[in-house]
Structure 1
Amino acid sequence: MRLPRSDVRLAGGSGTARRLAVSALGIFSFFLLWHLAAASGLVDRIMLPSPLEVFHSAAAIYETGELAQHIQASILRMALGYAVGSALGIALGVILGRIAFMEWFVGPVLQMARAIPPLALVPLIIFWFGINEGAKVFLIAWATFFPVWINTLLGVKGVNPLFVRAGQSLGAKRGTLLLRVVIPAALAPIFSGLRVALSISFTVLVAAELAGAIAGLGYFIQNSALSFRVDNIFVGIVVLAILGFIADTLFMALLYWLFPWYRAQQSGK
Structure 2
Amino acid sequence: MLPAPTTVIQAAWALSTSGQLLFHLVASLWRSAAGFATGGALGVLLGLTMARLPRFSDTIYPLVQMARAIPALAFVPLAVFWFGIGEGSKIFLIAWGVFFPTWVNTFIGVRDANELLIRAGASLGARGWRMTAFVIIPSALPFIIAGLRISLAVALMILVAAELTGAVFGVGYLIQMSQMVFRVDQMFVGLVVLGVLGFASDLLFNRIVALLLPWYGAERTRETSS
* TM-score interval (norm. to shorter): over 0.9
Identity %: 48
1:146 is aligned to 100
Structure with higher RCO (Cα < 8 A, 6+ apart): 2
1:22-41 alpha-carbon deviations (Å, 9 max, x no partner): xxxxxxxxxxxxxxxxxxxx
The residue matched to 1:186 in structure 2 has which SS? helix
Name the amino acid aligned to 1:53.
T
Root-mean-square deviation over aligned CA pairs: 1.4
Aligned length: 223
Name the amino acid aligned to 1:208.
A
Q: Does residue 79 of structure 1 match 2:55?
A: no
1:268 is aligned to 224
- Structure 2 segments unaligned to the other structure (5+ residues): none
- Structure 1 segments unaligned to the other structure (5+ residues): 1-46
Q: Taking structure 1 as the reference length, what is the TM-score of the superposition? A: 0.80
Within-5 A mapping of 1:47-126: 47-126=1-80
2:169 is aligned to 215
Which of the numbers 189, 200, 208 marks the counterpart of 1:254? Answer: 208
Structure 1 Cα separation of the partners of residues 171 and 75 of structure 2: 20
Q: Does residue 174 of structure 1 match 2:128?
A: yes
The residue matched to 2:168 in structure 1 has which SS? coil
Q: How far is the alpha carbon of 1:136 from its aligned partner?
A: 0.3
Name the amino acid aligned to 1:107.
Y
Q: How far is the alpha carbon of 1:255 from its aligned partner?
A: 1.9
Mean Cα deviation higher: 105-114 or 177-186:
105-114
The residue matched to 1:146 in structure 2 has which SS? helix
1:242 is aligned to 196
Structure 1 Cα separation of the partners of residues 145 and 20 of structure 2: 34
Q: How far is the alpha carbon of 1:51 from its aligned partner?
A: 2.1
Structure 2 Cα separation of the partners of residues 96 and 260 of structure 1: 27
